[in-house]
Structure 1
């Protein structure tokens, strides 16, 4: 309960190989929220190229961490779930005490923040309300630069692609590339890279790991950390209806529908369902998803359920982890009493990766989903340090 209180309090505060990157400098972007609106058409370039940037901060200006880091918000080119170019925003943070040219880079995939624009991870960071800030601080203290994607679709009229791995993985990868290509960071294009995330972020980090060899062979990836991973969206969804995580289920349906217009979610919704989605997009962050919508049932918001229809199952199958073995060592961890992301489907992913020869370390803790956001940091920190130090990886397979 202590961890739940901490996360809710923090949230309340916020009320295709790439071509060579461009060497041209990019002017700072606007200071207001128009920064988040992608230009139309997108400027020419390759995935990871910076479209715009601006100076950033971690919380209020006098927050002590701002004295020890330099932060930037960026908009960069990436690739959506249909293989089309898009624009994604994010945050890059570089510790001042290290030589940036020698700093490793951790691509942090944020956990669930919610569909409303105010929930955007970079906005949470700016407000000092990013609930994964302890993990970020650990990495900065260790001397790593951190690139944190906002994922696709956060803008004043938000249309996010929640839990869509084919989009999220690209966003994680290209956040690291953008960090390397923004001249102001002085980060090296040959820096060692780790992808890391929990919950939504755990899935995104592993998707980035699966996609990296084909999509971004330019990155020197040395490890991937994924905790609380929603690997099989069908199995996760079946455990949410009528329970505490109903808001996450509705948000997932919205995310898939945004990524794949052929799914036509609106044709399955009744008026109450349309009103609910509009309300969520207008105001809901993680706190509201977990508290305002808990124990509700999909049948009350739909004329028929899309969850097990062939079109939806086909798109969900495209976003099921395990199809491609991750080529670098992996730390996967999960709460045995996870009440939001089904434990058995995480075990199934572990078994799949092991059968495909992934050097995987599996860790469990007898706790719930939200508590492990924090209690998993120690294992993640140690794993990342070992990979960046070049220590041989062991496997629990």
Structure 2
């Protein structure tokens, strides 16, 4: 493992600064006197959140940064400082720290996972959830790689099946808290929020680079001494397309990861371990999909509770309500819809639209949001159509297949949470999902809040 100093890139004079700016304010203070040393500070581990309150404070420190601190060296290439400041000022979805993380991400070293790990072998096992391979990995909370979590981290590949019935390889990460031994009574399975659709955006890759925004949630779960499984989803990291918010493929990715983790060398999770499924946004969609598919796909799994936040139960309604700040989310969806419908993008996108889609498809969430913020979808289509109109014309069937809240789910405690101020996924979608489950006789807790926009998670 390289030390922080030697890991810094040498190809750019401002690389170290970019990566330093991506630390939280608290971390910067803690590391200020040690930046010129050749070893990580002894107290770096103390910066890892140990409770939910500390995790929230970590996020608050990041969110509190002033947009005026952004400059050329802390903004990704190809995006102007003015554009970045405007995006941050107009939405709580992006903070200055998010912008700095996106800039730091451009110059990061390898994730620590072997370079050929994500290559799918010529033949896959016949059984869904079978382990294909595993490797040691790392989990950092910052892109300078100074705040390393002491949990044992293992990335693994497993076999699953896509919506068309084709065998696929997918990946996930098992994190085992320090000091745990023997059988795990409980484990948390996290379906991450929107990462992007490029392989480099897979959580298992980003956790090793310190750029995974779900890292704080993972650290919080580990603080409760639960093993944690973080799912990558089909096509993120591994070969083949990642079909953004595809109900079947997301749900199967979650369920088969929960099966596979029981077979890993060194895993403390077995068939008796009580599984808690958690997810927010795209992760809430994947978690809910897994619930709806469990009886048919993986009835043997011991799922005992679920938390699903800001669930996009109706993708047509979600896309119709998106402001131009979140054009990237619509573009991720359009790429996946066209792939599934076998429709060439040139049939409905103009030259500019095809160029923007190609660029966005190679960016992870924060950078994609920045680069497309305030882009009117109508300016990207051949006939000036809006994205909802494009869906009406080409993708109605595909979008309808992703609807949630209609299928049977296990009789377990269910938590749905949603911010009344969510400006990406309308509040009524979360409320209706909770009502649907309640009417079906389930034990449902619905928690609303006034968190800022789509970041209003609890």
Could you say which TM-score interval applies, normalised by the shorter chain? 0.7 to 0.9
Q: Confirm or deny that 1:182 pairs with 2:264.
A: yes
How far is the alpha carbon of 1:90 from its aligned partner?
1.4
Q: Give yes or no for contact 1:105–1:193 (8 Å, CA) kept in 2.
A: yes
Please give the alpha-carbon distance, in whole angstroms, between the structure 1 residues aligned to 2:175 and 2:169: 20
- 1:54-73 equivalence runs, <5 A: 54-59=135-140, 63-66=147-150, 69-73=151-155
Which position in structure 2 is the counterpart of 1:227? 309
What secondary structure sits across from 1:323 in the alignment? coil
Query: For the structure 1 residues 122 and 349, does the alpha-carbon distance in structure 2 shift closer, same or farther, using more than 3 Å as the test?
Result: same
Q: What per-residue deviation string (whole Å, max 9, x for no partner) do you get for residues 59-106 of structure 1? A: 27764422xx21111111112122332111111111132224134221
- Map 1:1-397 to 2 at 5 A: 1-2=63-64, 4-5=94-95, 6-15=97-106, 32-40=114-122, 42-59=123-140, 63-66=147-150, 69-155=151-237, 159-240=241-322, 242-258=323-339, 260-282=340-362, 284-303=363-382, 305=385, 307-309=390-392, 312-327=395-410, 328-373=412-457, 376=458
Could you tell me how far apart the structure 1 residues matched to 2:100 and 2:343 are? Answer: 36
Q: Which moved more, 1:43-52 or 1:151-160?
A: 151-160
- Local SS of the residue matching 1:184: coil
Structure 1 contact 107–176 (Cα < 8 Å) conserved? yes
Contact 1:14 1:119 in 2 (8 A): no
Q: Kindly tell me: are residues 34 and 280 of structure 1, through their superposed partners in 2, closer, same or farther at Cα, counting changes over 3 Å? A: farther
Shift of 1:298: 2.1
> Deviations 1:357-395 (Å, cap 9, x if unpaired)?
23211111112344324xx1xxxxxxxxxxxxxxxxxxx
d(CA) in 2 for partners of 1:251 and 1:214? Answer: 29
Cα distance between partner residues in 1 of 2:224 and 2:243: 32
Across the aligned residues of Structure 1 and Structure 2, the Cα RMSD in angstroms comes to: 2.3
Instruction: List alignment gaps of at least 5 residues for structure 2.
Output: 1-62, 65-91, 107-111
Structure 1: gaps spanning 5 or more residues: 16-29, 377-397
DSSP 3-state at the match of 1:173: helix
- Residue 296 of structure 1 deviates from its aligned partner by 1.5
TM-score, reference length from structure 1? 0.82
Q: Hey, what does 2:85 align to over in structure 1?
A: none
Q: Distance in 1 between matches of 2:325 and 2:182?
A: 43
Taking the aligned partners of 1:95 and 1:224, their CA distance within structure 2 comes to: 21
Distance 2:311 2:174 in 1: 24
Q: Which has the higher contact order (CA 8 A, sep 6+)?
A: 1
Q: Structure 1 residues 48 and 267 mapped into 2: Cα distance closer, same or farther (>3 Å)?
A: same
Q: Which structure: larger Rg?
A: 2
Structure 1 residues 155, 140: CA separation in 2 closer, same or farther (over 3 Å shift)?
closer
Measure the CA separation in 1 of the matches of 2:155 and 2:193: 18
> How far has the Cα of 1:136 moved from its partner?
0.9
TM-score (norm 2): 0.72
